[in-house]
Structure 1
């Protein structure tokens, strides 16, 4: 019986080629992008799913009169304090980034992501070893555990236990383990160094006020997480209250379940930015909307064409067919069509997965398609789409009265037209919302690109100094800078710990003249050389810039921005000459006040900034260039290679660094752009099918009207107006929804555009033009047919 159903289904689909083509195309697109979104969402929610439930990250929440914040790091002394004082904790695992350090294997140099990890790291986390013993791999000083990819990169194989790598050009590390392919995690690294190595280098766990250590703990079985958290939260103030209180700080700690960090924490992971649950919700809604649009096309066309099947239904019911068998028959037809679309969609998924990776910035392996969860999801998607698209038309056809099927065909057609109107309105409303979203996003990004940020961003090359030999660079800084300055096309250059788009020393405490010590102010402090302001073109609104003519500038000269003055309570003029102190500088004097500039993205308000000279802390060098930037970069690279042979020359353009601050928003905007085009295409495709059917149904009417003198234009208007009216209703419905969605998205920006009426007008006009173009083709074709032929056909 089922085999017979499939045969009938195949013949039925073959008879209506346009109907089949439109439905297969729409469903293929809908299923393709639902599948791609599903894979992306699954890839995100899989992060840390394989980690144990009892592993937590310790965060630091601090509050002061001028700032409240929480960071994903702790003071170094907290690590041994937890181990000694909290019996509920089983293991304490410190983790510290060690990026930018040169790794030498033979004569080859590498700069991969290094991390210092506590000895229990591999026992606490689920990062399985391919080679080595997880209980001992990180026990000894100068031990290193590699990922399988890095082992192959360095040695061409994974059987590398006992091999040696040289770190920082001086210290040999012995390979004691090789990890299997890393499971998705908020912790990102290429190699783990034993933490005892850092202590041998002179690192220590004594300071409380460093906040430069990541710390994880595992709780013993049966322990109440809240009780353990309460005890850990109080440790800093119990042990270091005097120091914190001097600066007016109250410090507490919190435990974050590792499994929820990537999507639910407000803080980034370890060497990996945090995910966005809200973005996943938006994508899921868009994906569901895409699938619904494709199913609506199917429902619209099936109910439109069902009047042609009333005779078939009447005969089959007269021959004894039950309603259930008819429903099954029509559901099989729907299933067959959706199965074809699904197979085509899977081919497109494989082709488009690299595009998704490029847009999302995430690696989504093809192996994910063989996951039992993904396979089950695929089967569920087929069944769900079959039910969504096929249930209502099947039920409608099965209920026909066999004796009145032929007579009721026309009445049934009229009755179903109301449903089709509603579905067309829904399709175009969704399309209009996405078109409006595209316009809003484009305007916001144009605003970001054109807004005056308070500094020069064009033709600025950023050289990464972290990959230079530290001691040699620091010792010969001025000579190296002079050599780089001689490169043709270099106008100015400046070393700095932070630049626009890159954090300096964020969250530093600053004491100001006239305020008690416990009244501290939190600012971003940026150690730099004297040419920082001049190189970036930042304006001085009071006082002066750093100058070599004043010898004291190098030791205690300070620049504040206007926001820093406002935070303290000074105006720009009275700030000049005031004394301030902060980490790295005990007695600074304000020599000038900078105009406010955007140190970070427009998601954030301009923050207080303090700049002083400190040659030991430069991470980057900003180089202002003119002429052909490629030639200038080549000259800089030549000087670098001469000075630091074997050390890679890495650079970026400041404009690119600034754009990276909007990577998440830009990805979402690209997705909305793509889906707005697709939804319009699917809606237009369905509309084309409907117009084709309706003009065929009204062939006789059109012929009669032409015989009676109707013009081609009036017939086009007759056919088009009902659909344009539906688009108009869709415009009215979409406006408040698009406005609310746009406002919600723009809330992430401290500096943003306003949503204006013309954005909705543009989207509406675009929809009307698309609908008119879609309808006009068939309407003109029907209007131009010879009326004699039309009447003869009827």
Structure 2
């Protein structure tokens, strides 16, 4: 029986070539999009699962509440060992501390490495990664032991084994390669190239609880309750953190004890970090569970669009299959047999579509990787789980797309259809509803894409409060060995350089310090304590970046005290310190109860971090600024300027290579995730429109075919081509209009919720909605017009002879 169903299905599909082609193309497009989105969602949900006991690993976070609340994904160096000693539920801990930029030299080869970290000796016992060379249990035990990735090993040593070789690491001297790993998996929340043993740290800092800088991970014993453990942390805060706060802030112990509610350690499961943690100090930009939900829903909607096409075209073509059903029923076919026949036809058509969809995936994969920032290979779609899922998808989609047409067609009255009576209304309510659904999704995606791109451009074009255009940052000025100022003066002699400053703190970079402060006039414990970020700058920093001083003055060499105790703060800091209604100039800030600074000026707020984040309190201090040189240039010959600057660099016999970047490029890189989202929305919007257009094209063809005699009579009676066009098109255009009206409130609400993620956002402008509706209407008119014109210009005599 099944073989017979398959033969009949293939015969029917071959007979209705146009129907088959439109359905296969529509379903294949939907399935290809679904496969790509599912791969993206699966990848996003699989982060950090490479560790053998990933479900037992948690990161320790710190939340601090003052005038504002701040969350940090890192803690102080004593927290890990202190927690492990206090709670038997903790089996082990490991820490990670970023080393920053460093230079590694082997023989005559020297490279700048940015992805180096200090880690505890048990790091690779918790984050289990196979070693290509060396032993993971002992590789990081001794001081100056270095584990590197395969890429780094090949860069320095070529095809030779790296194990046992010695390299020179800046500031740390000779280091021995004790292990080589392949790489950190792509689906991980950090990706470092080299791991230096914790015992290599030269300084022996006192173990403290109230500072930051150490990403700390706990491995709990199997079956331990992380929530129950977290509830015990206030006891550690009272025991260790409170005395430190009292000492550092110069306040009574009773006052400092408030920290048990405002200084809170929490735990984040390792596997939740990528999708559920979003602080400004993340090791890398994380994903978003909201995007996973959005794109999962998008995959379902696109698949439903393709299924809607099949249902629409099947029911619209019911007249063509009516006599077939009638004859088969008269010959004794049962309803269930007809249903099985039509479902088999649907599944076979879906199978053909899946084969074509896999071909589309092969062709589109490089583009998809580019717009999504992923690294998928075609092989990942051809493994057994993927093929099994594809087979299941064929059955489910085939059944979903064919279930209604199967019941609809099998329910025809055989006597009526054999007499030529039409079955089902030409204006089927279901068919109309499916058209509305298709264009509702398409219009909603057009609106969403426009808003995503407007927000992206808003963040990139927002008034930053500083000048980022033609500002070049020359990195690693410390390589000039004390000649930073002489190099800066040489730059200023170049007419193309408007100004230059020496500092390692650059807008758009995470390089900055931070501390707790409070106004001296109010005293500690007054409610105005806050965490403030610190930029270490020189006298020319404000002028070079075009920062605006709204009160007081900038740093000046005419005031010798500026270098010791002067400070510039931004407007947000002034407000959070309680000085929004008073003049802050001359007021004194106390830093951690020890050092005092006098406010000499207030800077207009500027976006020194991503515009996704609310501007945080900031203060500028003179000194400790040897990291790099910021140069504001005015020239069209940028390449010539850079070549001349490189020559100057080499003239000072710098101990490392000349490297630089432009501030506007670094600023644009802050929005990589949003750029990927915008491109994905655009791609899937095009796919949704294509599927909806294909369905509308096929549906218009069927409708025109069913009204052939009506159109012929109207033409004979004098109807114009234009009136026939309106006749054929108006029903569909009304449905598109209805879809537009439904899409407006739904999309406005959804995109308003999405925009709430951003501290600074563009409003949802009214003109976006008619623009999207007009675009959808034009697409519908273009799609329908071919069939409508064909019907309107057909020879009416032929139409009247059709029966």
What TM-score comes out, normalization by structure 2 length? Answer: 0.92
Of 444, 453, 477, the residue aligned with 2:484 is 477
Q: CA deviation at 1:57?
A: 1.3
Residue 11 of structure 1: aligned partner: 11
- Consecutive unaligned residues in structure 1, runs of 5 or more: none
- Offset from partner CA, 1:150-209 (integer Å, 9 cap, x none): 3333333484322223221762222222224534322321222111112xx224352434
Corresponding position: 1:160 with 2:162: yes
Secondary structure of 1:475 counterpart: coil
Residue 731 of structure 1: aligned partner: 740
The verdict on how the C-alpha distance between 1:251 and 1:711 changes in structure 2, with shifts beyond 3 A counting, is: same
1:680-759 to structure 2, matched below 5 A, reads 680-759=689-768
The answer to whether the 8 Å contact 1:268/1:274 transfers is no
Q: Distance in 2 between matches of 1:390 and 1:588?
A: 75
Q: Distance in 1 between matches of 2:310 and 2:708?
A: 23
Q: Distance in 2 between matches of 1:585 and 1:635?
A: 46
Residue 86 of structure 1: aligned partner: 87
Residue 187 of structure 1: aligned partner: 190
Residue 136 of structure 1: aligned partner: 138
Residue 252 of structure 2: aligned partner: none
The verdict on how the C-alpha distance between 1:354 and 1:486 changes in structure 2, with shifts beyond 3 A counting, is: farther
The answer to whether the 8 Å contact 1:641/1:647 transfers is no
Q: CA deviation at 1:673?
A: 2.0
Residue 104 of structure 1: aligned partner: 105
Of 505, 508, 511, the residue aligned with 1:498 is 505
Q: Distance in 2 between matches of 1:561 and 1:409?
A: 80
Q: CA deviation at 1:613?
A: 0.8
Secondary structure of 1:509 counterpart: strand
Q: Distance in 2 between matches of 1:368 and 1:11?
A: 35
- Of the structure 1 ranges 360-369 and 306-315, higher mean CA displacement relative to structure 2 is found in 360-369
The verdict on how the C-alpha distance between 1:150 and 1:530 changes in structure 2, with shifts beyond 3 A counting, is: same
- Offset from partner CA, 1:44-86 (integer Å, 9 cap, x none): 111122331222211122223x132221111112233234333
The answer to whether the 8 Å contact 1:504/1:524 transfers is no
Q: Distance in 1 between matches of 2:563 and 2:419?
A: 97
Residue 213 of structure 1: aligned partner: 214
Q: CA deviation at 1:574?
A: 2.5
The verdict on how the C-alpha distance between 1:533 and 1:342 changes in structure 2, with shifts beyond 3 A counting, is: same
Q: Distance in 2 between matches of 1:784 and 1:437?
A: 39
Q: Distance in 1 between matches of 2:231 and 2:562?
A: 47
Secondary structure of 2:102 counterpart: coil
Corresponding position: 1:421 with 2:428: no
Residue 253 of structure 2: aligned partner: none
Secondary structure of 1:597 counterpart: coil
1:421-460 to structure 2, matched below 5 A, reads 421-460=432-471
The answer to whether the 8 Å contact 1:504/1:527 transfers is no
The verdict on how the C-alpha distance between 1:181 and 1:611 changes in structure 2, with shifts beyond 3 A counting, is: closer
- Offset from partner CA, 1:382-411 (integer Å, 9 cap, x none): 222112211211222223343433346513
Q: Distance in 1 between matches of 2:422 and 2:541?
A: 80
Q: CA deviation at 1:268?
A: 7.2
Q: Distance in 1 between matches of 2:411 and 2:467?
A: 72
- Offset from partner CA, 1:275-316 (integer Å, 9 cap, x none): 211011111111111111111111111111122112222223
Secondary structure of 2:535 counterpart: strand
- Offset from partner CA, 1:480-512 (integer Å, 9 cap, x none): 222333445221122334332223536522233
1:338-357 to structure 2, matched below 5 A, reads 338-357=350-369
The answer to whether the 8 Å contact 2:37/2:299 transfers is yes
- Offset from partner CA, 1:400-455 (integer Å, 9 cap, x none): 343433346513253x7221111001111111111111222233334334432222
Of 312, 317, 320, the residue aligned with 1:308 is 320
Q: Distance in 2 between matches of 1:490 and 1:336?
A: 69
- Offset from partner CA, 1:448-484 (integer Å, 9 cap, x none): 344322221221123333xx5x4x5463221222233
Q: Distance in 2 between matches of 1:61 and 1:14?
A: 66
Q: Distance in 2 between matches of 1:205 and 1:120?
A: 21
Corresponding position: 1:330 with 2:342: yes
Q: CA deviation at 1:660?
A: 2.6
The verdict on how the C-alpha distance between 1:553 and 1:621 changes in structure 2, with shifts beyond 3 A counting, is: same
What TM-score comes out, normalization by structure 1 length? Answer: 0.93
The answer to whether the 8 Å contact 2:481/2:654 transfers is no
- Of the structure 1 ranges 533-542 and 147-156, higher mean CA displacement relative to structure 2 is found in 147-156
Q: Distance in 2 between matches of 1:229 and 1:253?
A: 7
Q: Distance in 1 between matches of 2:159 and 2:288?
A: 36
The verdict on how the C-alpha distance between 1:449 and 1:182 changes in structure 2, with shifts beyond 3 A counting, is: closer
